[in-house]
Amino acid sequence: MIVEIKALTKVYEGKQRVVAVDGIDLEVQQGEIFGLLGPNGAGKTTTIGICTTRTLPTSGTVRIAGIDVVGHAAEARKLIGVVPQYNTLDRSLTIFENLYFHCRYFGFSHGQAKERSEGLLAQFLLTERKDATPSQLSGGLAQRVQIARAIAHRPLVLFLDEPSAGLDPQSRIAMWSAVQELRKEGITVVLTTHYMEEADELSDRVGIVDHGRMLALGSPQKLKDTFGAETMIDLKLRHVEGAETVAVEVRGLDGVKSAEPTAEGLRVFATNADGLLPAVIQASVRLGLRDIAITEPSLETVFIHLTGRDLRE
């Protein structure tokens, strides 16, 4: 077991008591890409903060390859690489030096550090920019340097906190393939995200967190099969008042699992939308149907099933 989280809690005492992490248990296997999915403020960053020795837990333990991160923080840091949410590249150093000195911090000799840095620059297609300073790089490039830096000392597990926050779509895809490449090197990856596509695309297993608790855990397919195998049809209506009567009518349709009025109209979960759609439209058209959105079974629908809320809410 490479990452072992047991009954982890973190409470921020203060004027407003905040329970950021509320009893999370998690085990991540060697070589796995694990995604923590949840909305902002769910406790993902705090969990990662504790795993990476930057935040002290209120109770519970985290072990990285058997080493306790609180009791033996310095040793644990040798085993982990971290890509934080923000660009924390050393602004006083060039890109090459960012990698080189990172290696030196981890005990590499001059020769080893130079060789490793040059290797990483080539691997991440950064060689041309090696003498640039971090402030000259675009967000996507800076993120690549941060990943290269995080794995420079050959950690067993890499933690990525919201790796695609602030990246353009193209950089995001480049980042995804960089992370998938890491698997070939046998690096275990734990990432947090509030993009369900990211969790779905990248992760072998996903943990869905909300309000500091782990709501569900499993492969994306298993989660979809268990919690959200239904297509979601969101209807926006001009006259919301009558939504309940439409809901009753829709519930009677073949294939409909549930239908609930929402603030803007009606939300329908159904096992198969194809033949159903005309009937649903028919039923709701008299309330002034102004928009219809269909979401195929995804981690998004799983999340909504589990919490009743959207990831972005």
104 interacts with another protein by CB under 8 A:
yes
In the bound state with another protein, the residue whose beta carbon lies nearer, of 88 and 258, is: 88
- Number of residues forming the site for another protein (CB under 8 A): 30
As separate numbers, helices (DSSP H) first and strands (DSSP E) second, the chain gives 11, 14
Q: Which stretch binds another protein (CB under 8 A): 84-92, 123-131, 210-218, 224-232?
A: 84-92
Q: What angle do CA 45, 125, 49 make, to 5 degrees?
A: 10
74 interacts with another protein by CB under 8 A:
yes
In angstroms, rounded to a whole number, what is the distance separating the alpha carbons of residues 42 and 294?
26
45 interacts with another protein by CB under 8 A:
no
Q: How far is CA 135 from CA 25, 100, 243, in A?
A: 39, 18, 53
Nearest distance from C-beta of residue 149 to another protein, angstroms: 7
Q: Which stretch binds another protein (CB under 8 A): 30-38, 76-84, 229-237, 270-278?
A: 76-84
102 interacts with another protein by CB under 8 A:
yes
Q: How many residues does the chain have?
A: 313
CA 190 to chain centre: 9
Nearest distance from C-beta of residue 48 to another protein, angstroms: 12
56 interacts with another protein by CB under 8 A:
yes
Using CB under 8 A, which residues numbered 274 to 303 contact another protein?
none
Residue in 68, 75, 118, 234 binding another protein, rule: CB under 8 A: 75
Residue 184 makes CB contacts below 8 A (sequence gap 6+) with: none
3 interacts with another protein by CB under 8 A:
no
24 interacts with another protein by CB under 8 A:
no
**Pairing between strand 213-218 and 3-12?**
unpaired
101 interacts with another protein by CB under 8 A:
yes
Residue in 149, 194, 205, 224 binding another protein, rule: CB under 8 A: 149
55 interacts with another protein by CB under 8 A:
yes
In the bound state with another protein, the residue whose beta carbon lies nearer, of 49 and 228, is: 49
Going by C-alpha positions, the residue among 42, 47, 56 that lies closest to residue 3 is 47
In angstroms, rounded to a whole number, what is the distance separating the alpha carbons of residues 267 and 247?
9
Nearest distance from C-beta of residue 150 to another protein, angstroms: 9
84 interacts with another protein by CB under 8 A:
yes
Provide long-range contacts, Cβ within 8 A and 24+ apart, for 256-264: 257/230, 262/234, 264/236, 264/237, 264/240
What's at 253, amino acid-wise? L
What's phi and psi for 204, nearest 5 deg?
A: -75, -40
Count CB atoms within 10 A of the CB of residue 308. 10
Q: Which two tokens stand for residue 23?
A: 């009893």
Nearest distance from C-beta of residue 100 to another protein, angstroms: 9
Residue in 64, 69, 82, 145 binding another protein, rule: CB under 8 A: 82
Binding site for another protein (CB under 8 A): 49, 52-56, 73-75, 77-78, 82, 84, 86-93, 97-98, 101-102, 104-107, 149
